[in-house]
Amino acid sequence: MDRKQLPDGPLEMFVIYNHPKDFPGHFVVRRWAGGKPTSDFAIADSLEAARIEVPAGLYRLPHQPGEDDVIVETWL
């Protein structure tokens, strides 16, 4: 693999939440970088609308046991 093709910077992921405390009644997509949440987020009225906010080409991980109940899925 050509090292020049690897992205620079910390690993980014996008987490979709279902009705989190700070935005009840909505789905929220938050960008994480280097294992920490960033100030970047999008609000949506449905899961389908939230998924549109996730950059193309990422891989979806479903909710995992032990995660907060409001986490729907994580995209890497």
Question: For the chain, what is the domain count?
Answer: 1
**pLDDT, tens digit (0-9, with 9 covering 90-100), for 7-65:** 678 889 999 999 999 999 999 999 999 999 999 999 999 999 999 999 999 999 999 99
The per-residue pLDDT for 1 is 44
The per-residue pLDDT for 43 is 98
* Residue numbers of the domain that contains 63: 3-75
pTM, entire model: 0.87
The per-residue pLDDT for 9 is 80
The per-residue pLDDT for 27 is 98
From CA 70, how far away is CA 25, in angstroms rounded?
12
22-45 burial, b at 16+ Cβ within 10 Å, e below that, comes to eeeebbbbbbbeeeeeeeebbebe
